[in-house]
Amino acid sequence: MNSSHTDLILALARTNGLLRTRDVDKAGAPRAILAHLAHDGRLVKIARGLYALPDRAGSEHDVLAEVAAKSATGVICLISALRFHELTTQQSSDVWLAIPHKAHVPRTDYPPLRVIRMSGEAMTQGVDEIDVAGTTVRVFCIAKTVADCFKFRNKIGLDVALEALQEAWRGRRVSMDELWHYAEICRVANVMRPYIESLAAG
């Protein structure tokens, strides 16, 4: 093995947290070295096309990082975002991912994905970038996620949307201005109005 390529790949793994084969391609190193490093125990294969250092610090959000590493344009949304923000009791082994209408669905063996297509400001606004063990994970902020839950209530259930709204408001994690802002972006202001006004009155 070329030692300079090996050092480069291991340095990328330390910097990125999760190493994609396309990162190796971009760096000009041969992909074959990944298999050698995995065989020698210097890298661990997480999923197809995804590697990490064996001593990488684990996290309960690792599964989100694995999806983020495979989708440059994707944003964690709906149930997965609610769980990230600790706003729901819902359990889901799927990762809910919003992607632009013309974007390709990431190829992954695991975890299973629930893909939601979005466009315009609904796709670009309210995106937080979170570091998960060295990998940047894009996830919708709390107020945007609550508005999304009302927009996609037919997919996740109105009860889930109401729980998210009530928990976010009770925990003082959103303001009225933020809720109205994202309700308008998601075009659910009329749907959310009675629930938001009820909170305000209470």
Model pLDDT, residue 29? 86
Peptide bond into 111 cis (omega under 30): yes
Which long-range CB contacts under 8 A does 83-89 form with residues at least 24 apart?
Answer: 84/130, 84/139, 85/139, 85/142, 85/145, 85/168, 85/173, 87/142, 87/145, 87/146, 87/163, 87/164, 87/167, 87/168, 87/173, 88/160, 88/163, 88/164, 88/167, 89/163
Model pLDDT, residue 57? 59
Model pLDDT, residue 20? 77
Partnered with residue 128 across adjacent β-strands are: 139
Model pLDDT, residue 91? 77
Contact 188, 177 (CB under 8 A): no
* pLDDT per residue as tens, the chain (202 positions): 567 888 898 888 888 777 878 788 888 888 888 888 888 888 888 767 778 788 765 556 778 988 888 888 999 999 999 999 999 888 778 999 999 998 999 887 778 899 999 999 999 999 999 987 677 899 999 999 999 999 999 999 999 999 999 999 999 999 999 999 999 999 999 999 999 999 888 7
Q: What is the pLDDT of residues 55-103, one digit of tens each?
A: 765 556 778 988 888 888 999 999 999 999 999 888 778 999 999 998 9
Model pLDDT, residue 100? 96
Q: Reduced to 3 states, what is the DSSP secondary structure of residue 104?
A: coil
